Each structure stands twice: as C-alpha cells, then as structure tokens.
Amino acid sequence: MHTLRSRLVYSNAWMSVREDDVELPDGSVGLYGVVDKQDLALVLPSENGGFHLVEQFRYPVADRFWEFPQGSWPASAEVAPPADGPGPRGPERLAATELREETGLVADSLTYLGRVHVAHGYSNQGCHVFLAEGLTQWQPEREATEADMRQRWVSEDDLNLMITEGRFVDGLSLAALTLLDRTRRTRPPGP
C-alpha cells in the first residue's frame, strides 16, 4: 500500500485526525481516516489477591465504567521534561504518574507486561501495560475531568464476576489482564 496524499483535518492538544489517499495493492485508490494519538500507559495495581480499580464517566459512550488506572501525556508534552524532575516522559514515568493521580497509590515496583494497540484499524495509539506492586496510599491528585472518579479494591474473584456479569468491559483493561495471565504462566516458580 502506498500513501498518495495526506492532509490534516483536525487537531487539539491530545490528538489529530488525518485523511490519507492511498493506492491499494490492486492499483485502485482508497481513503483512510487515521487518529494520531500519543501512547498511553495502563497500570494494574495489585495487592492482597486483588486490584485497585477506578470508575469514571466516559463521554464518547455517555456512561461510567470500572477500569484500571490509565492515561497519556498531551501531544505537546511528548519530549518535555516532567514537572517533578529531569528525564523523559517515558511509559514507566507515565504509569507511575497516572497511578498516583487517579488512585493516590505509589508503587515500589512497576513491571512492564507489554504493549497492545488501542484500535489499530483507525489509530496509531498503543498502550504500555504495567503491573504495580508494593503499594503505598497517598491522596489522589486527579485532574478536573476526573473529579467524580471513584476508586475501590476488588478481589480477583470479584473482578472475574464483574467480567462475567458485563460490569467490567474496558477493552484495554481486559487486554492487560491477558498480559498479566500470560506473565504469570511463563514466570518461573519463585522461592
């Protein structure tokens, strides 16, 4: 496939949308709409046989959902140093920041579980998944858009029931659980 022309149709601090005219393998011409977004980080805060979840209102689908803490930097912050010290705003720093902002939790360790595409049919955004352990509770530092966010700890059994009953449906959170399960199955037995 070959891009013939690309044009920006919309942008803001968090995303842009472009339309690409493409030549398909058979020589015909097609059109792709692409959402360009920064990668995000998602954190599975784990302790005592369960997880800390957050619930928030998701405007595009006009409803509240339970999910794991997650978020991204605005596009304008991609290479800017973080406000709290030197260094790049990489996925691990983003994961720690989102965890603290949304839940008030600080992790002794963040284990990288992998990266998944968010919606590769129309967006280039990826999601870096981390397991957070050794948690200490502080006050959340939520953004204005997260002011009504709720937080709670659930056991793994309760989370499985929420999934079965359709009360835990966030696609990225479900993908993160798959990565965690894979990691648990392939990790050598501990002492």
Residues 22 and 60 in one domain: no
- Which of the 8 DSSP states describes residue 189? P
Residues 75 and 102 in one domain: yes
**Residue 87: which domain range?**
38-186
Q: What is the pTM of this model?
A: 0.89
Is 77 inside a domain boundary? Answer: yes
Domain of 163, CATH number, reads 3.90.79.10
Q: How many domains does the chain have?
A: 2
What token pair was written down for 113? 């579980």
Is 191 inside a domain boundary? Answer: no
pLDDT tens, position by position, for the chain (191 residues)?
A: 999 999 999 999 999 999 999 999 999 999 999 999 999 999 999 999 999 999 999 999 999 999 999 999 887 654 443 444 444 568 999 999 999 999 999 999 999 999 999 999 999 999 999 999 999 999 999 988 898 999 999 999 999 999 999 999 999 999 999 999 999 999 776 65
Q: Backbone phi, then psi, for 150, in 5-degree steps?
A: -110, 155
Residues 61 and 146 in one domain: yes
Please report, to the nearest 10 degrees, the dihedral formed by the alpha carbons of residues 78, 82, 86, 87 taken in order: -40
pLDDT value at residue 76: 66
In this structure, are residues 114 and 120 in contact, taking their beta carbons and an 8 Å threshold? no
Residues 10 and 77 in one domain: no
Residues 141 and 171 in one domain: yes
Is 85 inside a domain boundary? Answer: yes
Residues 19 and 77 in one domain: no
Residues 108 and 145 in one domain: yes
pLDDT value at residue 89: 65
Strands (E), the chain: 2-11, 15-23, 29-37, 40-47, 50-58, 63-67, 70-71, 105-117, 126-137, 150-155
- Nearest CA-CA partner of 160 in 149, 148, 173: 173
Work out whether strand 40-47 and strand 126-137 pair parallel, antiparallel, or are unpaired: parallel
In whole angstroms, give the CA distance from residue 53 to residue 155: 10
pLDDT value at residue 88: 54
